């Protein structure tokens, strides 16, 4: 069937995304003789849709998966979805807020049911989007982190860690998100510098003889102070150490203590108020000096009702309490001064709420505690083992620059707080009796046996989402059973591909948990990529209105629909108007449909090792054009092969003596081997950008720009075998390059291969009816032909020289003119270029002469021992006038640029790259000016 005139990505993608899956190509039939390539998809959260980061990660991974599948590896790519505790709960509670109800109103059971309904819809949307992107993942192995089998493993892991003495419950200070009413990890806190103040507050001595001044950025916590610390090296205060202070606003006395490790004498006054229940450093100092720990906040950051706290502040929001406390201190004459100050403010990455350090009961994993005898690495902590696996090079981080960051984080790791005060997640397998005694068990029945006749109730907290994620390498393989085929062959996985933003959240914790529970490393390699940013390098976020939906890039979207999408759920009219205005400016015609292949190629081309990528739709347009170029090339091959009555079976039966490839055929085949070699090398180095570059250069600049043009000449030959050889080369190279490019651009290569393969090899094998199950092209080093490469290189030089001459002479592309070549040696090597040179340079004829015409005004190009001159009629008067105008124009530009370079102020203020660029501009224009002046002189001399 003949290819249609233009590439229609939508039709092709919609057909093949269903067809591949229908034929079962994504599910591997295991052949134990073949090597394994196994990996997990970083499970997307069930909170919505795929974003550009997901699409980027999955494109890189899919290219590797398709590459290894074609190399006959047992290729298994396991998909899954993460329950995303905090993120999911936020979405559901937002929906409840609209209905003016809370989770407490509907109860835990119905609340969980509501989330599961959301999950069905969300995971369906995400999996469809992945299919649209061409992700060849084994959907038969799909898991969900809240499924019963994974949940049972989560419980088993918790219980075992508790039995090994590696999980404990303790009252410690944690990051508390007052909006979510839960503890969150350090990694979920984003600290940014913001405008704030320092308040200087006087603390009177108990005998009222004097006072000391304390500087603080959080005056509301004064009611929780239990000491003021000073350094023994600060002579201003050494005489006061051990004395008591009267705590402002409270009917309490607190001591002045000596603290040398944490006091910064240069900050504020050198005196440090100590609030052990609401500051991480103060907590350490408080433990060290055995100070009381007074919690002053409720879970939603209101002042708690306690006798020790003045009643006037009870139930006040923390920031309202701050204002009242400042006002009261001022009225009492205890507020000395207020100074503007830049403060590092910690906010929850999900809610944006200011985090409150809070003293609460939580569950922790002791990551630095030596493990007991019965474990795989007894006597070593789980953090220590994870560190060893990188130091010993058992796990390779790519790029290796991440090794030092990994080691530094593990060397400073604190115990992991794994409990969260949420409803959505794995409920902690812990029960309590009326006396508060703890029973850790696999189920309530076992807990009740431990408790005897005592009434028990379950801990309402859930486990940190990253707890269940950290055990995924083995929890989805049937562990604790160790005899499953999956457990035997899949772990360690071949590679994990992930963004650097979850290196600490997920990657390190998987290494810790997997080594501890299986004795194996979870994966052999970790490829760490950057994040996707907008074209200006800014982070994509709703607040910046610069988010791009990958599905909109693939399918296109009208301006009206794009605006509606971006302002959805917004109530602020000003914000709606601003977003509408920005969107209209950036996308006046909406977003064109670029197709999945163009998007994938863009991602691959931008994926340099470890760096963030700046996504630009212009690049996407460029790769859409590339797909069109490839389509048109295939169409040209199909039409010409059919018109030559080429028959693959007949060609194979031709006497080998008659199959003599011409230099151009041998050149393109040689270059194909080198391109294959380059692509394989870059796949092994994970330099996806170089793979994209190699494919692009070969297809566009060599195969299309040169070989197809040369093939047109050879196909006009009267020699039957010349035509057949050319047809065979066209097909061989095209079919091979389709397989080379398939991992990157799967849809177009599949559709074209279905049309090209039968022309080259006859009928497609029923068992191998897709390019994705074909062999990846092998390299034949014997086909590398340096002589033909040298010959084509010289041909290109000659053709480009003629084209440059035509350009200088402003000749019409359609006009054919003669070429005179001055050469002392009229040899066969030079003559071998003539048939190609004549057609490619649009020449009427080529004449070799002993000397070029002396009085000709035509420009000349000189090579080592020959000269080229195009002979054309030129209107000297008009040409002199044109050149003079061009000289004048360029001279003005050079003079302006030179003034900048000679300007001291410009040199002082302009960035170095601007100065260099300006100098390069002058040099380039000067070269052009010199050529024009030479040409003008020729014209003037010709008049004489």
Q: Distance between CA 938 and CA 10 in Å, rounded? A: 57
Q: Are 606 and 694 in contact (CB under 8 A)?
A: no
Give the CA distances from residue 645 to residues 3, 638, 639, 754, 897, in Å, rounded to whole numbers and listed in that order.
17, 11, 10, 19, 61
3-state DSSP assignment of residue 795 = helix
Closest C-alpha to 841, from 885, 890, 804, 871: 804
HEC readout, 654-717: CCHHHCCCCHHHHHHHHHHHHHHHHHHHHHHHCCHHHHHHHHHHHHHHHHHHHHHHHHHHHHCC
Give alpha helix (H) positions in 465-606: 465-470, 472-475, 485-490, 508-518, 550-555, 559-567, 573-586, 596-606
Q: Distance between CA 77 and CA 60 in Å, rounded? A: 13
Closest C-alpha to 867, from 883, 849, 855: 849
User: Helices 746-761 and 720-741 sit at what angle, rounded to 10 degrees?
Assistant: 150
Q: Distance between CA 291 and CA 255 in Å, rounded? A: 10
Q: Are 600 and 619 in contact (CB under 8 A)?
A: no
- Laid out side by side, the sheet with 211-216 consists of 211-216, 189-204, 335-348
Give alpha helix (H) positions in 392-453: 402-411, 444-451
Q: Distance between CA 456 and CA 435 in Å, rounded? A: 10
CA angle centred on 578, ends 575 and 583, rounded to 5°: 125
Q: Distance between CA 97 and CA 414 in Å, rounded? A: 36
Please tell me the number of Cα atoms within 13 Å of 687 on its side-chain side. 11
783 is in an annotated binding site: no
Q: Distance between CA 690 and CA 685 in Å, rounded? A: 10
What DSSP string runs through 436-455? --EEE-SSHHHHHHHHTTS-
Q: Distance between CA 837 and CA 831 in Å, rounded? A: 10
Annotation: binding site for ATP: 542
Annotation: binding site: 542
């Amino acid at each position: 069937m003949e290819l249609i005139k233009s590439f229609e990505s939508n039709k092709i993608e919609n057909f093949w995304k269903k067809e591949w899956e229908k034929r079962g190509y994504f599910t591997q039939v295991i052949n134990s003789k073949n090597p394994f390539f196994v990996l997990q998809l970083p499970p997307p959260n069930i909170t919505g849709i795929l974003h550009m980061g997901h699409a980027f990660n999955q494109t890189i991974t899919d290219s590797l998966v398709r590459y290894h599948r074609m190399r006959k590896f047992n290729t298994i790519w396991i998909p899954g979805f993460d329950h995303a505790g905090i993120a999911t709960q936020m979405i559901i509670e937002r929906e409840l807020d609209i209905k003016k109800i809370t989770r407490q109103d509907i109860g835990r059971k119905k609340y969980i049911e509501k989330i599961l309904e959301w999950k069905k819809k969300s995971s369906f949307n995400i999996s469809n989007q992945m299919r649209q992107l061409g992700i060849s993942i084994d959907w038969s192995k799909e898991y969900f982190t809240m499924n019963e089998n994974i949940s049972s493993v989560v419980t088993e892991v918790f219980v075992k860690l508790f039995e090994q003495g590696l999980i404990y419950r303790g009252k410690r200070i944690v990051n508390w998100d007052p909006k979510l009413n839960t503890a969150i990890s350090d990694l979920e806190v984003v600290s940014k510098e913001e405008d704030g103040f320092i308040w200087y507050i006087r603390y009177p001595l108990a005998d009222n003889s004097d006072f000391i001044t304390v500087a603080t950025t959080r005056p509301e916590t004064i009611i929780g102070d239990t000491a003021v610390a000073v350094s023994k090296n600060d002579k201003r205060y050494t005489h006061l150490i051990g004395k008591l202070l009267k705590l402002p606003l409270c009917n309490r006395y607190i001591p002045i203590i000596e603290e040398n490790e944490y006091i910064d004498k240069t900050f504020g006054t050198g005196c440090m108020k100590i609030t052990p229940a609401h500051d991480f450093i103060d907590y350490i100092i408080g433990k060290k000096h055995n100070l009381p720990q007074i919690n002053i906040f409720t879970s939603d950051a209101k002042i708690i009702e306690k006798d020790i706290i003045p009643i006037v502040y009870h139930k006040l929001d923390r920031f309202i309490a701050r204002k009242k406390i400042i006002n009261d201190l001022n009225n009492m004459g205890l507020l000395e001064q207020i100074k503007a100050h830049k403060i590092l403010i910690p906010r929850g990455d999900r809610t944006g709420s200011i985090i409150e350090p809070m003293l609460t009961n939580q569950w922790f994993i002791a990551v630095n505690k030596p493990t007991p005898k019965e474990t795989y690495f007894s006597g070593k902590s789980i953090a220590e083992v994870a560190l060893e696996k990188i130091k010993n090079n058992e796990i390779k981080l790519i790029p290796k620059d991440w090794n030092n960051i990994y080691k530094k984080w593990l060397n400073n790791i604190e115990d992991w707080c794994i409990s969260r005060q949420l409803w959505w997640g794995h409920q902690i397998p812990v029960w309590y009796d009326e006396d508060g005694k703890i029973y850790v068990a696999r189920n309530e029945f076992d807990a009740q046996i431990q408790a005897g006749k005592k009434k028990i109730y379950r801990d309402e907290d859930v486990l940190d989402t990253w707890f269940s994620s950290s055990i995924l390498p083995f929890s989805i393989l049937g562990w604790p059973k160790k005899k499953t085929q999956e457990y035997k062959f899949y772990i360690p996985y071949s590679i994990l591909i992930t963004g650097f933003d979850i290196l600490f959240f997920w990657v390190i914790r998987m290494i810790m948990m997997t080594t501890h529970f299986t004795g194996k490393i979870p994966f052999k390699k970790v490829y760490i990529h950057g994040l996707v940013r907008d074209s200006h390098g800014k982070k994509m976020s709703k607040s910046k209105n610069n988010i791009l939906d990958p599905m909109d890039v693939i399918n296109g979207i009208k301006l009206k629909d794009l605006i509606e999408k971006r302002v959805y759920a917004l109530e602020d009219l000003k914000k709606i108007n601003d977003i509408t205005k920005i969107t209209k400016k950036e996308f006046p015609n909406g977003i064109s449909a670029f197709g999945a292949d163009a998007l994938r190629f863009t991602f691959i081309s931008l994926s340099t090792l470890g760096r963030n990528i700046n996504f630009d739709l212009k690049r996407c347009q460029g790769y859409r054009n590339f797909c069109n170029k490839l389509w048109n090339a295939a169409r040209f091959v199909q039409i010409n092969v059919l018109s030559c009555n080429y028959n693959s079976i007949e060609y194979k039966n031709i006497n080998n003596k008659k199959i003599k490839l011409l230099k151009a055929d041998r050149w393109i085949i040689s270059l194909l081997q080198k391109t294959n070699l380059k692509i394989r090398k870059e796949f092994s180095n994970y330099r996806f950008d170089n793979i994209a570059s190699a494919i692009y250069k070969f297809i566009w600049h060599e195969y299309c720009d040169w070989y197809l043009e040369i093939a047109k000449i050879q196909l006009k030959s009267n020699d039957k075998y010349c035509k057949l050889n050319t047809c065979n080369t066209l097909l061989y190279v095209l079919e091979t390059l389709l397989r080379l490019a398939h991992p990157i651009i799967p849809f177009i290569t599949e559709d074209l291969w279905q049309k090209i393969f039968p022309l080259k090899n006859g009928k497609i094998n029923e068992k191998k009816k897709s390019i994705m199950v074909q062999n990846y092209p092998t390299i034949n080093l014997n086909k590398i032909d340096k002589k033909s490469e040298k010959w084509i290189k010289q041909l290109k030089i000659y053709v480009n020289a003629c084209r440059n001459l035509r350009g200088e002479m402003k000749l019409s592309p359609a006009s054919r003119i003669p070429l005179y070549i001055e050469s002392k040696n009229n040899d066969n090597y030079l003559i071998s270029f003539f048939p190609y040179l004549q057609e490619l340079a649009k020449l009427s004829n080529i004449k070799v002469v002993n000397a070029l015409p002396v009085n000709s005004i035509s420009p000349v190009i000189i090579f080592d021992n020959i000269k080229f001159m195009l002979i054309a009629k030129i209107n000297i008067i008009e040409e002199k006038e044109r050149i003079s105008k061009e000289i004048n124009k360029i001279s003005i530009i050079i003079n302006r640029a030179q003034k900048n370079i000679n300007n001291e102020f410009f040199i002082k203020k302009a960035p170095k790259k601007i100065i260099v660029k300006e100098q390069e501009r002058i040099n380039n224009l000067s070269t052009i000016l010199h050529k024009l002046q030479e040409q003008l002189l020729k014209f003037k001399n010709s008049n004489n």
